[in-house]
A = this chain, B = another copy of it.
Amino acid sequence: MQRSDLPVYIQVRDQLWLWISEHRLGGQERLPAERELASRFNTTRVTVRQALGQLEAEGKIFRSNRRGWYVTPERLEYDPSRDIGFYNTVSEQGYTPSTETLSKELTEMPSWLAEISGLPEGTPVYHVLRRRSIDSRCVLVEHNYINPVNCPGLLSQDTDHSIWELLRETYNLHPSKRQIEIYPQALTGIEAEALGVNPGSAGLYMQRLTLDTDGNFLEFDREYWVHDALKVSVQADQ
């Protein structure tokens, strides 16, 4: 290519996006193969990949391991301060949620969680690891650490749906104070593997601490989201 004074990969990026828009490619539609694009834009695969990487960073396309590149669907609007949870949020916005429980166990509270919860290290906690999808695209893995004092026998329940609904309806638990932390964080290790993305992919980390009205530890939650799948929307009145 070349021609303009702009870098080739920027030109490819923009033309490719134009092409996607013109063809009205929507949620999860597949792009032509990299080699195909390289020859179409008369450049090399390396440069095409740079352009694809840009569109990926912008959240416009995403990749599925060795299967190809796809157009990213609209972001999910998610309010972590409300109680409606993943399942309802996704449904309300017209998508199909699904959840797989990867592991669940009763374990002893590690030191970092002891510090956060205010309970002594070694206190029993439930630990549930789940992978959640929107329209069969994996978008997050979630670690739930739940205080068993309030919900004995939780692990024998079905954890493939909303845990919060379980806590509310079966155990009559209600959260009071929460502290939420959110920041961009690359997906690596088991999170990247569980989501089927390349290690180092952009992600969003979100953690929530939930206490009951007396300030006792109810639940701690760590979520690792694919970076382009959600928009956090918080209502903060004062």
Q: Is A91 an interface residue (CB 8 A)?
A: no
Task: Please give me the residue from chain B that is nearest to A226 by CB atom.
Answer: B184
Q: Is A172 an interface residue (CB 8 A)?
A: no
Q: Is A223 an interface residue (CB 8 A)?
A: no
Interface stretch of the complex, out of A51-59, A102-110, A160-168 = A51-59
Task: Give A75 to B10 CA distance when docked, in angstroms.
Answer: 30
Give A150-176 interface residues, CB cut-off 8 Å to B. Answer: 175-176
Residue in A188, A199, A200 with the greatest tally of chain B CB atoms within 10 Å: A200
Task: Please give me the residue from chain B that is nearest to A201 by CB atom.
Answer: B57
Task: Please give me the residue from chain B that is nearest to A200 by CB atom.
Answer: B54
Interface residues on A, range: 35 or more
Q: Is A63 an interface residue (CB 8 A)?
A: no
Contact with B along A54-82 (1 / 0, CB 8 A): 10011100000000000000010000110
Give A79-121 interface residues, CB cut-off 8 Å to B. Answer: 80-81
Task: Give A176 to B188 CA distance when docked, in angstroms.
Answer: 40
Among B59, B180, B199, B202, the residue within 8 A (CB) of A234 is B180
Q: How many identical chains are in the complex?
A: 2
Task: Give A75 to B168 CA distance when docked, in angstroms.
Answer: 35
Q: Is A185 an interface residue (CB 8 A)?
A: yes
Task: Give A59 to B201 CA distance when docked, in angstroms.
Answer: 12
Task: Give A87 to B163 CA distance when docked, in angstroms.
Answer: 40
Q: Is A142 an interface residue (CB 8 A)?
A: no
B233 and A180 within 8 A (CB) = yes
A-B contact pairs, 27 of them (CB 8 A): A10-B199, A13-B200, A54-B186, A54-B199, A57-B186, A57-B200, A57-B202, A58-B185, A58-B200, A59-B184, A81-B236, A178-B236, A178-B237, A179-B236, A180-B233, A182-B182, A182-B232, A182-B233, A182-B234, A183-B204, A183-B230, A183-B232, A184-B184, A184-B204, A184-B228, A234-B236, A236-B236
